[in-house]
């Protein structure tokens, strides 16, 4: 089983992937449920698992995010290209509440996967064209898709670009203050799902 690599956000981690190469090319396992272990969470008394896989293509210069979910966990694997990833822990009571993390996912330099728990805002900037495969543990309905302004100074991610290509949705994501009005709550390390948001009004 690969050793998880901490990224500085509670519950988020990298999974090193090992290619097996020969003269034909290579083969690499990119996911096993057991790699997630206890962080996979529980649904109706049973271990939850990834239920949907998606593939996105982003041309160089595109920034996707920041996005976050209250129920959904993500498991990312960059299949081609290089992405600069920005993370921010929104969860009230998390040991890393209010902390950011920045990392690079490069399909050629070092193959790794990235696990993201609910309540952690995430996004990436495509430094080259990027093919990203991501697994999720809830089916897409559109009801658990939340956003946070990619360039909010309170988040403070040092993106390597000042004018990225953005989706219309991401141009209008709320700032940190607005996003934190219904702040997600950290459920504790033994649970995979967030508790109901706690209403937080600044005075």
Q: Name residue, tokens 């396992």.
A: 29
Active-site residue (options: 67, 115, 122, 186): 67
Catalytic hit among 75, 115, 134, 186:
134
Nearest Cα to Cα of residue 123 among 134, 112, 110, 137: 134
* Residue 80, beta-bridge partner list: 131
Return the closest-CA partner of residue 192 out of 3, 56, 44, 88: 44
67 catalytically annotated: yes
Separation of alpha carbons 6 and 17, rounded Å: 15
Catalytic site includes residue 140: no
Name the 3-class secondary structure at 100.
strand
- CB contact set of 46 (below 8 Å; sequence gap of 6+): none
For residue 118, which of 86, 71, 76, 75 has the smallest C-alpha distance?
71
Residues annotated as catalytic are 67, 134
């Amino acid at each position: 089983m690969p050793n998880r690599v901490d990224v500085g956000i509670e519950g988020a981690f990298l999974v090193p992937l090992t290619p097996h190469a020969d003269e034909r090319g290579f083969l690499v396992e990119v996911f096993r449920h057991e790699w997630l272990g206890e962080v996979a969470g529980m649904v109706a008394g049973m271990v939850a698992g990834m239920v949907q896989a998606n593939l996105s293509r982003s041309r160089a210069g595109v920034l996707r995010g920041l996005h976050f979910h209250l129920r959904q966990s993500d498991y990312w694997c960059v299949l081609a290209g290089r992405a600069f990833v920005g993370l921010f822990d929104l969860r009230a009571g998390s040991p890393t509440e209010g902390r950011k993390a920045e990392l690079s996912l490069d399909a050629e330099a070092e193959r790794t996967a990235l696990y993201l728990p609910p309540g952690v805002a995430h996004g990436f900037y495509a430094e080259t064209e990027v093919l990203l495969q991501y697994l999720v543990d809830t089916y897409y309905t559109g009801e658990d898709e939340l956003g946070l302004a990619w360039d909010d100074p309170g988040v403070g991610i040092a993106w390597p670009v000042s004018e990225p290509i953005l989706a219309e949705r991401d141009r209008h994501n709320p700032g940190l203050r607005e996003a934190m009005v219904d702040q997600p709550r950290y459920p504790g390390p033994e649970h995979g799902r967030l508790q109901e948001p706690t209403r937080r009004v600044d005075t």
